[in-house]
Structure 1
Amino acid sequence: MMSARLLVLVLLMGGAGVSATAHSAPDASSAEAVRDGQHDFDFEIGTWATDVRVLRNPLSGKQPVWAEYRGTSLVRSLMDGRANSVELSVAGPAGKIEGISLRLYDPGARRWSLNFASLRDGALTPPVIGGFGADGRGVFYGDDKLGERPIRVRFVITPVSADEARFEQAFSADGGATWEVNWIAVDRRTA
């Protein structure tokens, strides 16, 4: 059964070579490469009304069956932005989804790890790892299983405005050649 994960393209930050001209000023592209992303999630701190659509039969090859949920997400900053927590509680005709996500920033790698646990079984899902690009969009990737089937997971976070964000999760059974979206959430700020 699919886990409801709150799960980016791993930011490759250029080579670690030493330049022969060590005193030259960095250009704009290298300035972006060393950008500190520890405050990438600051836009999301607060309370949100959350609408979620979950594909109930992912990677089945069958006609898609979607379930809709509505509820709240509460996002808190931890440790000066180097971590944050998300409390998700949504309900709909198909039942409830309650879970927590702990997002941790790795300053050495300049990337985030998104870790989700459903309160239904208390188990942590494997993390998705990545970060945010210059366009403000976050892309995260990881490996998981759907039943016993190994899959790739992609999680995309798109800030739409200061008061709205979109989250989209997709699974791939072919190593990332093709993706099937199975989780869409739209958050609208309430506080």
Structure 2
Amino acid sequence: MSDERIIFLEKGDNSMSSASDFDFFIGKWSVSHRRLKERLANGTEWDEFSGTTETRKILGGTGNCDENYLQLPGDAYHAITLRTFDPATAQWAIWWLDGRHPGNLDVPMRGQFVDGVGTFLTKDTFQGKPIMVRFLWQVKPDGTPRWEQAFSSDDGLNWETNWTMNFTKSA
């Protein structure tokens, strides 16, 4: 069992997650991105840009994938997300593949939904230093999804939110 999974299981109730957790995200979306220009540097300047996402179920409903187009200023790119649900552990695994680096699949995030909020964690590196990464998924009161990413350089004691995405359903 990996360290990040042990950390997460101590925080959540394993019985709350299911293979239908991401059903709210199936379909086509317009995305409003907000990304911190400098991460883990006490930065306060943000890039704001648009994008699109299309999500569909896979693996007979126990997973989903989405194709993304991110209009990052000066560096627009395509990427995919792969999510799979393990019913034995009631945990999701999430992988990201950036089209600018097609040979590098990011380390998987692992986690679950509790009380309508999906929390996913992993250990990674940033600029050669060990960090923890956290994704939060939730559905806002208006029914639209919101995602955020945060980094921690102190093993999860403090978190810096460095990227948010708000989604609007497309026709």
TM-score where L is the length of structure 2:
0.87
Q: How does 1:112-131 map to 2 (within 5 A)?
A: 112-122=92-102, 123-131=104-112
Aligned residues: 164
The alignment partner of 2:35 has SS state of: strand
Higher helix fraction (1 or 2): 2
Look at both structures and tell me which one has the larger radius of gyration over its CA atoms: 1
Q: Does 1:89 align with 2:87?
A: no
Q: How far 1:160 moved relative to its partner?
A: 1.3
Q: Does 1:136 align with 2:116?
A: yes
The alignment partner of 1:10 has SS state of: helix
RMSD, aligned CA: 2.1
Amino acid at match of 1:184: T
Q: How does 1:22-171 map to 2 (within 5 A)?
A: 34=15, 37-61=18-42, 63-122=43-102, 123-133=104-114, 135-161=115-141, 163-171=143-151
Partner of 1:190: 170
Identity of aligned residues (%): 34
- Write out per-residue CA displacement over residues 77-101 of structure 1, whole angstroms, 9 at most, x where no aligned residue: 1123211001110214343142101
Identify which of structures 1 and 2 has the higher relative contact order when contacts are C-alpha pairs closer than 8 Å and 6+ apart.
Answer: 1
Question: Which whole-Å CA distance do the structure 2 matches of 1:168 and 1:141 have between them?
Answer: 12
* Structure 1 stretches lacking a partner, 5+ long: 1-8, 15-31
Q: How far 1:161 moved relative to its partner?
A: 4.8
* Structure 2 stretches lacking a partner, 5+ long: 1-6
Question: Which whole-Å CA distance do the structure 2 matches of 1:36 and 1:92 have between them?
Answer: 32
